[in-house]
Structure 1
Amino acid sequence: MFLQPKKTKYKKIQKGKLSKFNFRSNILQFGNIGLKAAKATTLSARQIEAARQAIVRKLSRKGKLWIRVFPNIPITAKPTEVRMGKGKGAVSHWGVKISAGTILFELCGVSKNIAITAFKTGGAKLPVKTIISL
């Protein structure tokens, strides 16, 4: 069950740029401890789901986990060995642009040590360096 929007205004969008640092979603809103991205990157829905599953397994059905990012950007790809031109490719997966300092996951209801180990295993599943923010 991968994250993706139910409905979008446009089927495909242009790539755009990654912002260097985010001042809006860099503080904890819901939980006591969070997992923060150290650099700007694009995360896919599969990567977010893999990190979520790793964190939940370490928690062993205790605590509450919030996912602060949602993949709402369609990422397109053309098949291999296709000549140039003939339009933009079909949507292959969904992603989200992450700027440095964005909180990805938040957690409460468990001890600090369990939360840190859970976020370390979850952060290992992501293609970006992460920081645990208290």
Structure 2
Amino acid sequence: MLSPKKVKHRKVFKGRSRGMAYRGSSIAFGEYALKALCCGKMSSQQIESARIAINRTMKRGGKVWIRVFPDKPLTKKPAETRMGKGKGAPDSWVAKIKPGTILYEVTGVSEDVAIEALTLAGNKLPFATKVIAKRSVL
């Protein structure tokens, strides 16, 4: 699973997801992309399962770019623990997603294969997504 090698702080605040994504909201590498329509958190397991779904559908043809990285730690207290006694230990890593963020990009395959692969990947995620295409303007 994806996780950072080193972080400045072990535990961070939850924060709030407000507003649209400005950075990372346009297609930069591929021809087709999966775009988030609402905010949410994407765990490292969800990033990996969506990547596997894309690669299986494309049958190792083409190229895939993952545009998100889980750099925010989530903490969890042990089961059957009373309230209080501070914040729990770091448990997993998530990527905070804003509406408009490009999650995956694909190139080197036909349009119908790319749309099918990205749609399957979107079904693995806990928020609404849509497939977009980069139209070449001559």
Shorter-chain-normalised TM-score: which range?
over 0.9
Matches within 5 A, 1:1-134: 2-134=1-133
Cα distance, 1:20 vs structure 2 = 2.7
Amino acid aligned to 2:24: S
Q: Distance in 2 between matches of 1:24 and 1:96?
A: 14
Amino acid aligned to 1:91: P
Q: Distance in 1 between matches of 2:13 and 2:118?
A: 32
Q: Distance in 2 between matches of 1:109 and 1:32?
A: 8
Amino acid aligned to 1:64: K
Q: Distance in 2 between matches of 1:20 and 1:119?
A: 24
* Identity over aligned pairs, percent: 48
Question: 1:76-114: per-residue Cα shift (whole Å, max 9, x none)?
Answer: 011222111111101110001000010000011111110
Question: 1:30-80: per-residue Cα shift (whole Å, max 9, x none)?
Answer: 001100011000110001101000010001010000000000000001122
Partner residue, 2:136: none
Q: Which structure 1 residue ranges, 4+ long, deviate > 3 Å from structure 2? A: none
Q: Distance in 2 between matches of 1:7 and 1:24?
A: 23
Cα distance, 1:19 vs structure 2 = 2.4
Cα distance, 1:122 vs structure 2 = 0.7
Question: Structure 2 stretches of 5 or more lacking a match?
Answer: 134-138
Amino acid aligned to 1:42: K
Moved more, 17-26 or 83-92: 17-26
Cα distance, 1:25 vs structure 2 = 1.4
- TM-score, L = length of structure 1: 0.96
- TM-score, L = length of structure 2: 0.94
Q: Distance in 2 between matches of 1:106 and 1:15?
A: 28
